[in-house]
Amino acid sequence: MNASSIAALTHPTMRMRTPGLLLAVAIGVLAMVLGRYAPLIGGPVIGIVLGILVRNLLSPGERYQPGIAFAGKYVLQWSIIALGFGLSLSQVAKTGLESLSVTLVTMTVAFLAAWLLGRWLGVHDKLKILIGVGTAICGGSAIAAVTPIIRPDDHDTAFAISTIFLFNLVAVLLFPLLGHLMHMSDMGFGLWAGTAINDTSSVVAAGYSYSTAAGDYATIVKLTRATLIIPVCLVLAFVVAAREKRKHAQGGSTGHFSLASIFPWFILWFLVASAIRTAGLIPPAIQPTIHLLAEFLIIVALTAIGLSANLRRMAASGIRPILLGLGVWIAVSVSSLLVQLAIGQL
């Protein structure tokens, strides 16, 4: 394989991404239409389910993968930024501060549950950290951020991501149903989804499936939670450096870790969009159009994530990581509800 071929694989062009993007958009359009006829389920959930069905029944070829990966990551970020144009900075700040106490409790519960349950199940330390961080903060993004710090084996990373993704799918389908059964308010459900569901994509899907207000609230809560990956990574980097220094008596190198590489930059652009909205630079007449665009981008991104879901690979991950992920996820979900109940926010 020559250098140009390797570059094409590692840095796909927009032309290479086109087939996968068109597939995600086509399924996304169908999901959006179906969502209008089934509002209790919603377009985001329908999109991710259709994506899973297409991926595992029809198996789109390799030429679709660059576009699917691009949509699952970047189109989702664009949708979050577009949502910022509909939210004022005061609303963002108020929601972030209101949710911080619940977020800190659920994060602490996630790490403790991962450590205790992981010891009981005999799961080794690195896999416990990956599943704990993924559940506590932001799913696959958090796992990707800590990987260069703790340097796990590739199969451990795959196990953790597959486990987290499995419970993301369950949450998208289960949380709105449970929320309605518990007669939760929009704010209560948004806070629950934002603190107890792993990936941003799944939080957005569950939130907007419940209601627009719940989706807006859940998105802000989740973005506040996602920024906490920075202090967590810094602490892990310090611990790993100290451990390596003691073990090898040579410096505290932690690999290719850098603060810039873990910072969720799309959150900054979300705040910029919110500032533009707060300054009154967005004409009220076009705000519904922007929100509709954001909704469509969310559906396309979630469809792409569904198209990435290899159910066979998830099943091959083994039972212990799945049990660990299940236990941590339940602990976080219950603790979020209990804190809300204690402070009267349900």
> pLDDT digit of tens for each residue in the chain (346 aa)?
444 434 444 567 888 889 999 999 999 999 999 988 876 667 777 887 898 889 888 888 889 999 998 888 788 778 878 877 877 788 777 777 778 888 888 989 999 999 999 889 888 888 888 888 888 887 766 776 677 677 777 567 767 777 777 788 888 889 999 999 999 999 999 999 999 998 777 888 889 889 989 998 998 888 888 777 767 777 877 777 776 666 655 544 445 545 555 566 777 887 888 889 888 888 888 888 888 888 888 788 878 878 887 777 666 656 777 888 889 999 999 999 998 888 776 6
105 torsion bin: left (phi>0), alpha (psi -120 to 50), beta (else): alpha
Whose tokens are 């967005």? That residue is 282
CA 314, CA 304: separation in Å to the nearest integer?
Answer: 17
Is 195 in contact with 225 (CB distance < 8 Å)?
Answer: yes
DSSP per-residue codes, 18-53: HHHHHHHHHHHHHHHHHHHH-TTT-HHHHHHHHHHH
CA 273, CA 258: separation in Å to the nearest integer?
Answer: 26
Whole-number pLDDT of residue 27: 95
50: which residues sit within 8 A by CB, 6+ positions away? Answer: 27, 30, 31, 303, 306
265-278 and 76-84 helices, crossing angle to 10°: 30
Whose tokens are 């993301």? That residue is 168
98: which residues sit within 8 A by CB, 6+ positions away? Answer: 191, 345
Whole-number pLDDT of residue 248: 56
Whole-number pLDDT of residue 229: 73
Whose tokens are 């486990």? That residue is 163
CA 81, CA 75: separation in Å to the nearest integer?
Answer: 10
- Closest by CA position to 232, among listed 125, 331, 97, 108: 108
Is 249 in contact with 261 (CB distance < 8 Å)?
Answer: no
Rg (CA), the chain: 20
CA 82, CA 14: separation in Å to the nearest integer?
Answer: 22
